[in-house]
Structure 1
Amino acid sequence: VFLPTLIVGLGLPSMSLSLSTEAMYKPNGKLDRSLKPFIDSLNLEELANSDVSIRGCMEKLAKWTAEGEANSFIAFFLFAVCVVATTVLDMGMLLTASVMMWYRAELPATPTQDASSKSKPVLPIRMAKVLKKFSFLDVAIVGIVVVVLSGQAYSAQGLSLTIAPGLALLTL
């Protein structure tokens, strides 16, 4: 269940951005209505409206990294390694530990070994504890929520940030 949910969650939009130019004009906005034809000709709503997925974000960051953007490399590394890879490895270690516990529980106890020691998959559990420290999927989810909530301050200017369905799948 974890891997399909993660893959679909990474591909679906986690955040949406939309712009309404109507809020830019007086009385609510600062622009005069006489500028509406010019603003409409810029096609700002279509240019600004966007659905953002983590996979799409990583693809753009990889492209910008290839073009020489150092900051994009750091962001790509954080998303690809700390958000995605360590989360997958952490869950892999937990799965390995549970399979080892199941397998060892089926084995008969030997005279030199007590029953509790045969069900302790020490290495995978230790690795999972370390990987959990570097797994930032939860941090990324909270970051997206904070950005969306902070963006509500701009709703009066016509900018709308919303949480999209991909975030719910990543939260599972």
Structure 2
Amino acid sequence: RDTIFDNVQLAGVIQTYRIPAQGTDDYYAVDMLSTLLSQGESSRLYRALVDEQQKALFVGNFPLALEDPGVALAFGIANIGVDPADLEAAMDAEVAKVQQELISEEEFQKLRNQKENDFITANNTLVGIAESLANYHMYYGDANLINTEINRYLGVTREDIRRVAQKYFSKDNRVVLYYLPKPEQP
């Protein structure tokens, strides 16, 4: 845990969790968990922290896909007057819900549809296809994985999402950084 003071106007909370390497079964579940938490305005973090509680102006969560184990970054930009500790607690509460309960079948189907749409969109242009082929060749030595990777996402279960939330998004598996405005000089 650390605090950095800088030339920013609003406080930020950044949580960095250790996650498994790209290509592992758990990585796909972590990626789906991140999508559940933060992709779009109907995501759990956005709905709870921005819309309902109004503790944050923006929130996000994304894994960094690496050949070796990497990190997932969760972050929030605090609303004016919101203490970073309150924002952190609210972020933790949303993760705890996924750790304690299976997501609904409806939410799970929406998540699967999002991942399938993301995959199709990413590979809808020549540039996207080239990037995917290069990624599969560089990380796995097999560009043909472009034809099967969506099945890895579709193989993730609701139980897998809860399990990786418990395993990788625990408080003892992270570093927390508060990024705060510099105190005003007299």
- Compute the TM-score of the two structures, normalised by the length of structure 2: 0.28
- Compute the TM-score of the two structures, normalised by the length of structure 1: 0.29
Q: Name the one with the larger helix percent.
A: 1
Q: Name the one with the larger strand percent.
A: 2
